[in-house]
Amino acid sequence: MIRNKSAPMTIRIDAKPNPTTSVPLAALALAAVAENRREEPRLTPKRLISQANDGIINSKWRWAPPRRVASLATIFLCLFIASDQHGFAQEQTESTPPTALKRKIREALFAREFDTAAELATSLADQSKNADDKLAAADALLRSGKSKRSVELFDSYIAELPAAKPYLWQRGIALYFIKRYSDGAQQFEVHRKVNPHDVENAAWHYLCIAKAESPTKAKQMLLPAPGDLRPPMKEVLEMFQTGDTQSVMKRIDSLQGTGSEKSANFYGHFYLGLYADASGDTKNAKLHLDKSVKNAPRNYMGDVAYVYAKHLAEGPRGTK
């Protein structure tokens, strides 16, 4: 932090500035306000600009040495852009209706600006009492790597709408990331009642049981998931049954140069990584998740791949 110990500075500006000099004059006025800001530390960006504009129009600033003014203007504008833009974003977010917030969340997730998406989702959850808005916030927070808060919102949604629980497979993923493995396994078990053919559900259930008990127990409790036609899901399910990872790799290789190449690379390496994680092979888990991320689609599971890769990279330090 730069603190100027000299007396507060003011600038004199003509009441009717020339349009061609309005930008530099605004910079000088902002610099003057910045010089006085230490006397009013709670001054918001919006009020800052208002005071600067007032100085330009109403000639409230006395004269100060030009070189000092210019230097302060430059310093202030740099600091203002670097730090106070958060204030603008916060003010805008606090007054943004839920529909617009959800649109901004979708845009941030598509751009993979996960910190922005998480901030917007937190605002949505805080502002809205609507259950669907809180569910949207929970989804966005999970996709942004904020699993703990995500679970809180999923649980709040279930408390309000208990019949929705079997459909919330994503809650099981969030529970895994915060190490509530038994609860995660139970979520995937109830999800199978409404989605019995999903190999991904069986895979995450396997992972939770392996972490809560052991890979041997996870194999014994593997959920059936017949008829998942997405390549290479048939081979992925067989891998959890037999431990054969090569069949998944061969299936991925067989699809290179086809329309299914990118999807097979994404899902194949994703679940090879998950299987390695369940087996305690963190090194291979990281390698496969990194390959999965390189082929990640811009959708829910694509974002989860980023979260999972980061989770593995952070190791035992915990989950936010």
Please determine, for residue 59, whether its predicted confidence score (pLDDT) is greater than 90. no
Do 169 and 311 have their domain in common?
A: yes
> Cβ distance 141 to 304 under 8 Å?
no
State pLDDT tens for residues 249-280. Answer: 999 999 999 999 999 999 999 999 999 999 99
Do 61 and 203 have their domain in common?
A: no
63 in a domain, yes or no? yes
Exposed e or buried b for every residue in 198-219, given b needs 16+ CB within 10 A?
A: bbbbbbbbbbbbbbbeebeebb
Do 55 and 188 have their domain in common?
A: no
Please determine, for residue 1, whether its predicted confidence score (pLDDT) is greater than 50. no
CB count within 10 Å of CB 98 equals 17
Please determine, for residue 307, whether its predicted confidence score (pLDDT) is greater than 50. yes
> Cβ distance 256 to 263 under 8 Å?
no
Do 36 and 166 have their domain in common?
A: no
Tokens 């299936």 map to which residue?
251
> Cβ distance 35 to 9 under 8 Å?
yes
Do 310 and 230 have their domain in common?
A: yes
Do 61 and 168 have their domain in common?
A: no
Do 42 and 168 have their domain in common?
A: no
Do 208 and 296 have their domain in common?
A: yes
Do 222 and 309 have their domain in common?
A: yes
Do 210 and 309 have their domain in common?
A: yes
Residues ≥6 apart with Cβ < 8 Å to 119: 89, 93
> Cβ distance 287 to 254 under 8 Å?
no
> Cβ distance 77 to 30 under 8 Å?
yes
Binned at pLDDT 50, 70 and 90, residue 46 comes out as: very low
Of residues 52 and 254, the one with the higher pLDDT is: 254
Of residues 95 and 179, the one with the higher pLDDT is: 179
Q: What percent of the chain has pLDDT over 70?
A: 69
Integer Cα distance of 207 and 146 in angstroms: 20
Task: Read off the pLDDT of each residue in 193-199 and give the average, rounded to a whole number.
Answer: 98
Q: What percent of the chain has pLDDT over 90?
A: 68
258 in a domain, yes or no? yes
Chain length of the chain? 320
Please determine, for residue 174, whether its predicted confidence score (pLDDT) is greater than 50. yes
Q: How many domains does the chain have?
A: 2
222 in a domain, yes or no? yes
pTM (2 d.p.) = 0.71
302 in a domain, yes or no? yes
CATH number of the domain that 221 lies in? 1.25.40.10
State pLDDT tens for residues 102-156. Answer: 999 999 999 999 999 999 999 999 999 999 999 999 999 999 999 999 999 999 9
First-to-final CA distance of the chain:
29
Do 79 and 184 have their domain in common?
A: no
37 in a domain, yes or no? yes
Please determine, for residue 73, whether its predicted confidence score (pLDDT) is greater than 70. no
- Considering only 14-18, 205-209, 263-267, 296-300, which range has the smallest mean pLDDT? 14-18
Task: Read off the pLDDT of each residue in 173-182 and give the average, rounded to a whole number.
Answer: 98
**Cα–Cα distance list, 275 to 28, 206, 221, 296 (Å):** 61, 8, 15, 18
Alpha helices in 144-245 (DSSP H): 147-160, 169-177, 181-191, 199-212, 215-220, 233-242
265 in a domain, yes or no? yes
Binned at pLDDT 50, 70 and 90, residue 96 comes out as: confident
The angle that helices 131-143 and 114-127 make with each other, rounded to 10 degrees, is 160
**Cα–Cα distance list, 91 to 53, 80, 136, 288 (Å):** 19, 15, 21, 41
- Considering only 11-20, 270-279, 289-298, which range has the smallest mean pLDDT? 11-20
129 in a domain, yes or no? no
Please determine, for residue 99, whether its predicted confidence score (pLDDT) is greater than 90. yes
Single out the residue of 33, 36, 39, 32 nearest to residue 66, CA to CA.
32
Question: Which residue among 94, 127, 149 closes a domain?
Answer: 94
> 194 — phi, psi (to 5°)?
-110, -5
Please determine, for residue 22, whether its predicted confidence score (pLDDT) is greater than 50. no
Q: What is the pLDDT of residue 94?
A: 55
Instruction: Please give the single-letter amino acid code of residue 21.
Output: T
Question: Which residue among 94, 115, 136 closes a domain?
Answer: 94
110 in a domain, yes or no? no
Task: Read off the pLDDT of each residue in 239-245 and give the average, rounded to a whole number.
Answer: 97
> Cβ distance 14 to 59 under 8 Å?
yes
Of residues 116 and 20, the one with the higher pLDDT is: 116
- Residue 291: which domain range? 161-317
Alpha helices in the chain (DSSP H): 22-37, 45-58, 66-79, 85-94, 98-110, 114-127, 131-143, 147-160, 169-177, 181-191, 199-212, 215-220, 233-242, 246-254, 261-278, 282-294, 300-314
